[in-house]
Amino acid sequence: MAVTIHLTNQLTSRLTTPLEALPGPLLLVVLATALTVESGLLAGVLVPGTALALGAGALAVPVGLPLPLVCVAAATGAVAGGQLGYRIGRRRAGRPAPFAGTGRLPFGLWERAAAALRHRPLVAVAAGQWLSYGRIVVPRTTGWAGAAAPHAFTVVHSVSATTWAAALTTLGHHAGEAARDGVALALGLPALAVVAVVAVLAAARRAGQRAG
């Protein structure tokens, strides 16, 4: 238990330190903007979206923000980033690669990626939101490859991104509350994971049926 409490304190401190000096409204703006540019403008390597969502959730109560409002800000940025990436990818349709300067990658990597996306496009869109580089690569590559129609992409990605944002900000909130007691974090993570997976897969299935 002592190790769990120590790790929880370390996690909470690292996630909240860069954000704790911001006033509440500015925190919401920074969160939404950072999550938009993470995937939409390929800043994911420099802008840690997962850490920002967790940290914002942990700071909701200390800075006087309702947790649902933090969830909305995170979801808005996550959805906007994916949509932006997808639209940019569609504009690059017919070019050698979805990203400028990457058309000469070896082993036909982009062609293989496009083929894989066309095989299970909506599952890839839903799952990609939950992976750091997936949030960068999947939306733009999906648009570039024409793997999913705009409506189907919008439905599946929006549900996945909203669920991701709600899960991470809520988990961050519990991490902040559990800084002195790691039990809440340990019990909350599996439940959030189950709810997120069920919601994302259900959305992918419904969108696939509508698109078909």
Residue 99: predicted pLDDT: 81
pLDDT tens for 74-101 read: 999 999 999 999 999 999 998 888 887 7
Mean pLDDT across the chain, nearest whole number? 78
State the DSSP string of the chain: -HHHHHHHHHHHHHHHTTTTTS-HHHHHHHHHHHHHHHHHSS-TTTS-HHHHHHHHHHHTTTTT--HHHHHHHHHHHHHHHHHHHHHHHHHTTTSS-SSTT-TT-GGGHHHHHHHHHHHSHHHHHHHHTTSHHHHHHHHHHHHHHT-S-HHHHHHHHHHHHHHHHHHHHHHHHHHHHTTT-THHHHHHHHHHHHHHHHHHHHHHHHHHHHH-
| 138 pLDDT tier (thresholds 50, 70, 90) | very high
The mean per-residue pLDDT over the stretch 17-35 comes to 81
> Would you say residue 33 has pLDDT above 60?
yes
User: Pick the residue with more confidence: 144 or 102?
Assistant: 144
Q: Give the global pTM.
A: 0.77
The mean per-residue pLDDT over the stretch 16-34 comes to 79
Domain assignments of the chain as residue spans, ordered by start: 2-211
> Would you say residue 47 has pLDDT above 70?
no
| 176 pLDDT tier (thresholds 50, 70, 90) | confident
| 205 pLDDT tier (thresholds 50, 70, 90) | low
